[in-house]
Amino acid sequence: MRRLAYNDTSMKKLWSNRPGAAIFLIISTCLWGAVSLRWITEFIEQHHPLTWAITLILLVFGLAMGLEPLLTHDSTLRAHLYLVVQMGLVFLASLFYFELDFFALLYIILCGQATFLLSRRASLVWLSILIVMTAVGQFIQFGSPIAFSFILLYVAGLIFVAAFVRLVLQADEARDHSEQLLAELQKAHTKLQAYANQAEELAIAHERTRLARDLHDSVAQTLYGLTLQAEAASRKLTAGQTEAVQTYLAAIQEDAKQTLQETRLLIFELRPPVLESQGLAAALQARLDTVEARSDLSMRLDLHDVGRLSPKIETGLYRIAQEALNNAAKYANAAELCVQLEQKGGHILLEIADDGVGFDSTAVPVGRVGLQGMAERVAQLNGRLTIDSAPGKGTTIQVEVPL
């Protein structure tokens, strides 16, 4: 069957979730009841000898109509057989007595059922058959030209019912399609959440790798140098060369101070207190002051107070700026660095530009300049990352994040 899978569950669905179909079933029952009451009463009043026959036909028709889900049972062949038998009963009843045109109303029930049960093409075939049967029955009852008025009336009813049921089915199909799309969207949303979690974990892994590299390049190397200097000082002390020992101790003291500064800087990068207490603009100002103090870069700052943002946005933008500043200090050979932070409408704009050597942004070495980590952080914030750079033209990094 193309339309309805007939079992207990599907019939419950028919009544509860298909109000158009439920209305049609109610109307069908009313039509059958009206026809039965009208002609059984008429035959009884006339003491017609075939009253029992007309009563039996109507009862069989009504019983079959009620048991139609069991009789057709998800079978196109059974549906056709059901319609043939029911149509035969109606046509037979219309021949029992003069002016039994009222029985043609039962064709309307069969027209609606055919539309519900069968494909579009098959239901159109049955609509044509029922129109022909209606015309034949009316001509037998009344002859020409009186039959034409009844034919037009009943044909209009058949077409109206077929169109109504078709609209019900289209609405039902549209609802099923919408539910399917909603399920697919929910599934896609779940996948996106999983991807976002993976991206966040990847960003954390990149951050740990960067910190490990910084620890190795600065603190670990300096501590290793301190160890060598301490061993050399120990040998000089054993040899009684006190002046050389003092020289080593001075170098050790200086390297230890530098290591302490670098360690404090790494701790600050891990969890800058000013970011929590004063917000993004103040944290960027503190970070830029540190970079300027450790390098020959000239800073031009345009940091607007954007107020307190969500911790996720503040941390994400700070890490992006931190990565961009590190890249500029290590690779750009820039003389000047310009940093802008402002709020426009419902977005936060962060721009970091340098006048350094630049690079080919179409063939960027992602691993070296850390752009992959920036892109992942921007994606987590549902923002947009724009990189404008060319060899000898400097680099401009723009980040736009919705609030």
pLDDT digits (tens, 9 = 90+) for 261-289: 666 666 655 556 666 667 777 777 777 77
Position 8 scores a pLDDT of 37
pTM value is 0.46
Judgement on whether residues 170 and 317 belong to the same structural domain of the protein: no
Tell whether 248 is covered by a domain. Answer: no
| pLDDT higher than 80, residue 397 | yes
Give a yes or no: residue 60 inside a domain.
yes
Whether residue 170 lies inside any domain: the answer is yes
The answer to the question of residue 257 being in a domain is no
Share of the chain above pLDDT 70, in %: 77
Structurally, the chain folds into a number of domains equal to 2
Strand duo 336-344 + 347-354: pairing: antiparallel
Cα–Cα dist 384/400, whole Å: 5
Per-residue exposure over 381-390, b if at least 16 CB sit within 10 Å of its own CB, e if not: bebebebebe
Which of these ranges, 15-29, 125-139, 280-294, has the smallest mean pLDDT? 15-29
Mark which of 166, 186, 206 sits at the end of a domain.
Answer: 186
Chosen domain end from 186, 211, 243: 186
Say if residue 173 is in the same domain as residue 42.
Answer: yes
Across the range 105-131, mean pLDDT stands at 88
Q: Please report how many Cα atoms fall inside a 13 Å half-sphere around the Cα of residue 129, on the Cβ side.
A: 17
Residue 284 DSSP symbol? H
Asked if residue 290 is part of any domain, the answer here is no
Provide the residue range defining the domain that includes 309.
296-403
* The pLDDT of residue 70: 82
| 62 in a structural domain | yes
CATH of the domain at 300: 3.30.565.10
> Which has more confidence, 155 or 302?
155
Structure confidence at residue 84 (pLDDT)? 92
Does the residue 59 lie in any domain?
yes
Q: Are residues 29 and 158 in the same domain?
A: yes
Residue finishing a domain among 186, 201, 230: 186
Q: Does residue 177 sit in the same domain as residue 41?
A: yes
Do residues 21 and 169 share a domain?
A: yes
Report the alpha-carbon distance of residue 403 to residue 269 in Å, rounded.
24
Whether 91 is covered by a domain: the verdict is yes
